[in-house]
């Protein structure tokens, strides 16, 4: 039986993924969709509103609707805890995570 270095294999995979994510991020948003550029948080630190690249300010429900219909680039909507949640695409780039966007 072959002895594999699982840690090394995984690290190589992660590095390749990071490089691909950076290439895709550098391409930007070529399909013309809006992007979230800033967030508003409540006192608990929860995101309650979003500002888009066109300057629109969206409450969470409107942002969910737009994200579900594909109008917002680089976000996913998933269902957890009995509700829909918006998150940035898991691309390995921490700087573009919604929680790290500037506040407005």
pLDDT tens-digit profile of 7-38? 999 989 888 877 776 666 666 666 789 999 99
In a domain, 80, yes or no: yes
Query: What is the pLDDT, as a whole number, of residue 26?
Result: 61
In a domain, 89, yes or no: yes
In a domain, 33, yes or no: yes
In a domain, 79, yes or no: yes
In a domain, 3, yes or no: no
In a domain, 11, yes or no: no
Residue 94 belongs to domain spanning: 29-100
Query: What is the pLDDT, as a whole number, of residue 95?
Result: 77
The C-alpha R_g of the chain, in whole angstroms, comes to: 17
HSE toward the beta carbon, residue 53, CA cutoff 13 A: 11
Total structural domains within the chain: 1
């Amino acid at each position: 039986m072959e002895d594999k270095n699982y840690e090394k294999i995984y690290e190589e995979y992660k590095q390749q993924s990071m490089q691909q994510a950076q290439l895709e991020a550098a391409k930007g948003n070529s399909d013309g969709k809006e992007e979230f550029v800033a967030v508003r948080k409540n006192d608990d630190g929860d995101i309650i509103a979003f500002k888009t690249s066109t300057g629109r300010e969206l409450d969470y429900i409107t942002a969910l609707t737009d994200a579900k219909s594909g109008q917002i680039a680089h976000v996913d909507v998933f269902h957890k805890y009995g509700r829909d949640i918006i998150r940035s695409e898991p691309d390995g780039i921490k700087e573009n995570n919604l929680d790290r966007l500037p506040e407005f």
